[in-house]
Structure 1
Amino acid sequence: MATTPGARSAPAHRWDGAPFCVRVDARGNPGVAEAGSWRSVPDRLRAIAAAAVREHLPHADFLWRGEVDQPVCSVRIDVRSEAATTVAFISGEPLETLPHDLSRRELEVLTLVTTGASNAEIARWLDISPRTITTHVDNLLRKLDCASRTAAAVRAVDEGIMLVPIPVSRRDELCSTRIGRVLGAIDHGPARLPGTPRVRLRPWRIGAAVPASGPGASDAAEMRRGLQLAIEEINATGGVHGRPVDIEVTDIDIADAASTRAAIEQLADREVDVLTSAYVAHQDVAHDTAAATGIPYLHAATSGAMEERVRNDRGRYSRVLQLCPSDVHYAPGFVGFAGDLRRRGLLPTTSRTLVCIQQTSWQLIDFGTAHAQALADAEGWELVTIDVADENGWTAAAQAAIAREPAAVMIGSYFVDHHIDVVRAVRDARAPSIVYSIYAPSVPAFRERLGAAADGVVWATTTGTYSDAIGLGFAQRFARRFGSAPGRSHAGLAYDRAHVVAQAWARSNDFRDFDDVVRRMRSTTYRGVNGAYSFHPETGVAAGFRGPGDDPSVALAHLVYQIQDGRQEIIAPVPYTTSRFRRPDWLTAPAR
């Protein structure tokens, strides 16, 4: 397993025989382990990699000799630029047999031949007879299929068949060259040996906690597909700094605190570079668990309660970002929408009553009913709130709401089943009330299950996919890739989330410097398919756009949709509208 991010300890002084691929800077400081552990890399190898960075050598191949009882290690150094810095990736793996079937002594002799030493000098330095050296040279010329010592030396350098450290101090002969200064690094393209390790850069890893079952399962499928499409597109253009991006997915029971904690810990154990999740009942547990890992955490819980928690403990939650405005905007938005319809003469009744049916099984949900109550009082509405704690209580709650003959009913829940129960109750009663849902109709299952009965439903979301060229282009690519149109919220949000992270990685000097990565996300606006993402400096919450006075270029629009003829049409706010409000077909009763 790769080393813990940011770990620093006394480096090993001998190779432990394990394969490795590590990142080293110009001062020899070890960074993230792409494979294995940097503790497998002796000091001398790290110094050579650092010298390769300083000497601007693009690559180096050589053979490292460990202890007598160890195999030879085939080493590859690649120097690369990442953001504003240059680093070396040094990889190594043991060789069961030496290249060209050379013996260890023949390899020592060949290495000294590359320095230009004579047979007599090599014999003296290795403390063996000149005749034995002659025999070794004859053997290695035959094995390398070379006619001369010079040809053998050239091939050894080209193929990286040089033993490091060089057996004796003869390496001083090379000190006038860059090759000598990095002890065997080469400044032209080598002919690669089949056994020479290639640098396989560890991918950037996005960890996603999504439910495989339960009330959020159909929504989770949208999240996974949006994330997958984003990663495929990022990788198709070369990844980030030449690294591919990968997904680590783990299951989560969104209603269970222990499952929430376990899911985030599992992703951290897999050494992901960013944690993500959608909405969970115990978002406080998710925040605390993610904060303890130190890994950046991007969630979409739309939680006003967690927004305040972060504001009040910014140090602890400095690496936590909320990808959408909070739920506290929903009920005020409902009151504002009803008031706008009344002013335009579009309500089906003169009733001054509004009803908000809201789930209370998740303690951290706050739809902003207190603020909505103040707005309703100011505009002459009676706002009635009906709480639903029982999963099977939504039909009864809808019937209680209908009995009050309201102008509009808001459904405060994130789950499709709850909304379907209320819509059916209103239709069956032919109630003269507007149905104003939040979020759940974004999930394709809502329209699939209701069919034509979904027409007329109005719904709002703090993050939804626009119907502009950017949003429509995403929808077309999604449909080509997965054979169905995306939902209008979390598919786009998951897609955008990957790009927000990739943009920060691309601009960071060190993708495992988590504070730097989060600073890049906080300081840079990203325009995605769901709008523009910019984060509040104190709460880490994405800015929202609700109408005149807000800046749509740095915010996510609080979109209001209506399902019309089976299509999702945006009816507010301008400039994102694609249609106007239509009176639903169940409103057959005359206005009173």
Structure 2
Amino acid sequence: MDMRFTRRAVNAALGASIAMPWVARAAFAQNPILLGVPTAQTAPVGTADHLDHLRGTQLAMEEINSSGGILGRELKLFTPDVNPIIPESIKQAFAACVDAKVNAISCAFVFIPIVAMDTTAKYKCPYLNGTAQREQTEKIKENPEKYSHVFQVDASDLDYGWTYPLMLEEQEKSGLWTPKNRKIHIVQEQSGYARSITRGIVDQVKKRGNFEIAQITDIQIPVQDWNPVVHELRQVDAGAIFINHWVAAELAAFTKQFVANPVKNSLVHLHYGPSQPEYLTLVGEAGNGFIWDSTIGHLQDERGLAFEKKYRERFPGPFPGAVYPGHGYDVAYLLKRAWEAAGDPENFAATAAAIRQNPTRGVCGTINVNNPWQEALHYPANGFDDELAAPSAEEGIPLLHIQIQDLEHKIVYPKEVASAQLQLPPWWS
């Protein structure tokens, strides 16, 4: 990614204005509500997702302001640069939000969530994120007073693992996929995040008994050469393959090496990374047939497609991502409703209470964080953390499994929100 392009996009968001006479606008902007949006602008990872999140937030901000703002006040953005994998950078970015006296913080994710939580713990403005780590929400549950202001508006890493075998079972049950064997081969990077996902898969497979873990192959990142991995995949020859690694460029390298010498008739899942626009830019048609997943993303229903249309018009060019544009958009509107319910954006406790007490349907589903983890209820139920499972797809945030079909991202699971049926990949006979 061109970092200068990312900086320009951030500057464009900061400079966004609404159409109204100068005098009226001056009065409108006199006492703005300030939303902090820590955004990766120069970091080696995360810039694509963070830019998506910022643009979704910007779109919501422009709509809100053009409709009169919030409680008669303009919504403005404050966007400090952050490296989401460096603790000191996270601390500095969130401290900058506190120093700027923002009314709330919306962030795509950081990989060391406790740093962000602790940096904002005394200030206590609402902090909403899509970090997707159970480590974060367990800390909230353990210390609800200290972290009463922190909300995770998607499911956690473990849920990727728990949901994966459910997706496989559903595709087999539908008759669209007949596995050549019951084996699952997991390739995992060496991070706590990836190990949590693997643990979820292993636990769910043991519980349900419909598949078996044939092999877990560890990789060290960055991966320079995937050929040894592809060779091991061919030796194990599992019916289902899960590549537990999320960096788009490296998954693109895997894709090219895999399709050149594929494991025939295996269903291949690439964790999350293909959601980033860089992936399809690098692989083109070689990406067709691969499946990826996300704990949040705009749905491909009437509401979600209307949002996508508005987003494409506002930010011309290839749609940049299927995950964080909707996430940023939904969080901004969730905060708008909470501020209006509280009646005072400076009353952080009342705003946090309004967030908890008022589930909000957005383009990604229904955000309901009224639980001890302050983590969005998700769908489908998986039998492990039923307290966090929504009773239906409409009442929670669906954890999406998406297949690339004709260079388009199509939801294939859960079936309640699917926009297409599973297609057999090109490497199937």
**Which TM-score bucket, shorter chain as reference?**
0.7 to 0.9
SS of equivalent to 1:291 = coil
Residue number in structure 1 paired with 2:377 = 543
Provide the TM-score with structure 2 as the length reference: 0.86
SS of equivalent to 2:416 = coil
The answer (yes or no) to whether the contact 1:282–1:364 under 8 Å persists in 2 is no
Residue number in structure 2 paired with 1:224 = 54
Which of residues 359, 369, 390 in structure 2 aligns to 1:525?
359
Higher Cα radius of gyration: 1
Whole-angstrom distance in 2 between the partners of 1:386 and 1:480: 43
Matched, 1:431 2:250: no
Tell me by how many angstroms 1:449 deviates.
1.6
The answer (yes or no) to whether the contact 2:140–2:372 under 8 Å persists in 1 is yes
Which of residues 395, 402, 405 in structure 1 aligns to 2:234?
402
Tell me by how many angstroms 1:344 deviates.
4.7
Q: Which has the higher helix share?
A: 2
Which of residues 464, 467, 472 in structure 1 aligns to 2:300?
467
Bigger mean CA deviation after superposition, 245-254 or 439-448: 439-448
Whole-angstrom distance in 2 between the partners of 1:220 and 1:324: 16
CA 1:367–1:425 in structure 2 vs 1: closer, same or farther (change >3 Å)? farther
Bigger mean CA deviation after superposition, 257-266 or 434-443: 434-443
The answer (yes or no) to whether the contact 1:347–1:407 under 8 Å persists in 2 is no
1:387 maps to amino acid: D
Whole-angstrom distance in 2 between the partners of 1:397 and 1:210: 34
CA 1:358–1:279 in structure 2 vs 1: closer, same or farther (change >3 Å)? farther
The answer (yes or no) to whether the contact 2:154–2:375 under 8 Å persists in 1 is yes
Tell me by how many angstroms 1:562 deviates.
0.9
Whole-angstrom distance in 2 between the partners of 1:536 and 1:403: 47
1:311 maps to amino acid: K
Tell me by how many angstroms 1:335 deviates.
1.9
Q: Deviations over 1:4-37 (max 9, x none)?
A: xxxxxxxxxxxxxxxxxxxxxxxxxxxxxxxxxx
Which of residues 109, 133, 140 in structure 2 aligns to 1:279?
109
CA 1:365–1:285 in structure 2 vs 1: closer, same or farther (change >3 Å)? farther
Residue number in structure 2 paired with 1:243 = 73
Which of residues 374, 389, 396 in structure 1 aligns to 2:203?
374
Whole-angstrom distance in 1 between the partners of 2:421 and 2:292: 14
Matched, 1:304 2:137: no
Tell me by how many angstroms 1:413 deviates.
2.8
Whole-angstrom distance in 1 between the partners of 2:170 and 2:224: 30
Residue number in structure 2 paired with 1:561 = 402
SS of equivalent to 1:560 = strand
SS of equivalent to 1:221 = helix
Residue number in structure 1 paired with 2:33 = 204
Q: Deviations over 1:27-75 (max 9, x none)?
A: xxxxxxxxxxxxxxxxxxxxxxxxxxxxxxxxxxxxxxxxxxxxxxxxx
CA 1:251–1:532 in structure 2 vs 1: closer, same or farther (change >3 Å)? same
CA 1:389–1:585 in structure 2 vs 1: closer, same or farther (change >3 Å)? same
The answer (yes or no) to whether the contact 1:464–1:492 under 8 Å persists in 2 is yes
Q: 1:335-484 alignment to 2 at 5 Å?
A: 335-344=165-174, 346-347=176-177, 349-361=179-191, 363-364=192-193, 366-377=195-206, 378-392=209-223, 395=226, 396-432=228-264, 433-484=266-317
The answer (yes or no) to whether the contact 1:388–1:394 under 8 Å persists in 2 is no
CA 1:288–1:478 in structure 2 vs 1: closer, same or farther (change >3 Å)? same
Whole-angstrom distance in 1 between the partners of 2:59 and 2:269: 31
Residue number in structure 2 paired with 1:180 = none
Whole-angstrom distance in 1 between the partners of 2:320 and 2:67: 23
The answer (yes or no) to whether the contact 1:324–1:556 under 8 Å persists in 2 is yes
The answer (yes or no) to whether the contact 2:249–2:278 under 8 Å persists in 1 is no
The answer (yes or no) to whether the contact 1:212–1:252 under 8 Å persists in 2 is yes
Whole-angstrom distance in 2 between the partners of 1:274 and 1:507: 15
Whole-angstrom distance in 1 between the partners of 2:221 and 2:87: 19
2:37 maps to amino acid: A
Residue number in structure 2 paired with 1:487 = 321
Tell me by how many angstroms 1:276 deviates.
2.1
Provide the TM-score with structure 1 as the length reference: 0.63
Residue number in structure 2 paired with 1:20 = none
The answer (yes or no) to whether the contact 1:304–1:366 under 8 Å persists in 2 is no
Matched, 1:503 2:334: no
Gaps in structure 1 of 5+ consecutive residues: 1-193
Gaps in structure 2 of 5+ consecutive residues: 1-22, 383-389
Structure scoring higher RCO (CA < 8 A, sep ≥ 6) equals 2
Q: 1:30-429 alignment to 2 at 5 Å?
A: 201-213=30-42, 214-344=44-174, 346-347=176-177, 349-361=179-191, 363-364=192-193, 366-377=195-206, 378-392=209-223, 395=226, 396-429=228-261
Over aligned residues, Cα RMSD in angstroms? 2.2
Tell me by how many angstroms 1:249 deviates.
0.4
Whole-angstrom distance in 1 between the partners of 2:225 and 2:38: 28
CA 1:295–1:572 in structure 2 vs 1: closer, same or farther (change >3 Å)? same
Residue number in structure 2 paired with 1:49 = none
Whole-angstrom distance in 2 between the partners of 1:243 and 1:217: 30
Which of residues 412, 417, 422 in structure 2 aligns to 1:581?
422
Tell me by how many angstroms 1:375 deviates.
2.9
SS of equivalent to 2:417 = coil
Whole-angstrom distance in 1 between the partners of 2:316 and 2:179: 42
Tell me by how many angstroms 1:200 deviates.
5.1
SS of equivalent to 1:409 = strand
The answer (yes or no) to whether the contact 1:571–1:579 under 8 Å persists in 2 is yes
Q: Deviations over 1:479-515 (max 9, x none)?
A: 1111032521101101111111111011113211101
Tell me by how many angstroms 1:348 deviates.
6.3
Whole-angstrom distance in 2 between the partners of 1:388 and 1:286: 28
The answer (yes or no) to whether the contact 1:283–1:364 under 8 Å persists in 2 is no
SS of equivalent to 2:422 = coil
Aligned residues: 392
The answer (yes or no) to whether the contact 2:160–2:200 under 8 Å persists in 1 is no
Residue number in structure 1 paired with 2:386 = none
1:389 maps to amino acid: Q
Whole-angstrom distance in 2 between the partners of 1:242 and 1:392: 51
